[in-house]
Amino acid sequence: MKYNQVKLYHYSNKNIKGRIKPSFFGGNYYTGNDVKASPVRRAFYYLSRHKTEHLLDNSKYLYITEVNRNKLYNLDKDPKDLKSRFIIKGLAVIDITRLLKYIKKSYTGIVYNRNVTAIFKDLKYTRKIERG
């Protein structure tokens, strides 16, 4: 692994060829609800292959890729205080769509919940593992 690269793990029941594409966002059961939160296209990955949501336990394939750590905005730490900049006036709610569109201009993706990443660009995977 190159310096400053971080491994990402993507689970799917589809036999994906070459690249994982955010253009498929919302096209399956897992991401259908995420579209309701924001239509910004993104593909979901994990920083740890051992800490995933249980609904992914039976996924047929595990795809592994790498990205530059500096191109992932850490929404948990929020070093630029972006969440406060996108609060909907009069509500204590963040405008997720505006926040993601802003971050997408400068970053490949975001990290949140300490382990989940949402990637805005197509990523070529480096390894595919057929599970079970």
- Domain ranges within the chain, ordered by starting residue: 5-130
pLDDT tens, residue by residue, 31-72? 666 777 888 899 999 998 876 666 677 788 999 999 999 999
pLDDT of 92: 85
Average pLDDT over residues 91-103: 94
pLDDT of 58: 78
Q: Are 39 and 118 in contact (CB under 8 A)?
A: no
Q: Determine how many CB atoms are found less than 10 A away from the CB of residue 55.
A: 10
Secondary structure of the chain in HEC code, one letter for each residue: CCCCEEEEEEEECCCCCCEECHHHCCCCHHHHHHHHHCCCCCEEEECCCCCCCHHHCCCCEEEEEEEEHHHEEECCCCCCCHHHHCECCCCCCECHHHHHHHHHCCCCEEEECCCEEEECCCEECCEEEECC
Check residues 6 and 31 and name the one with the higher pLDDT.
Answer: 6
Q: pLDDT over 90 for what percent of the chain?
A: 60
Average pLDDT over residues 68-82: 96
What's the CA gap between 42 and 116, in Å, rounded? Answer: 12
pLDDT of 31: 66
Average pLDDT over residues 96-115: 95
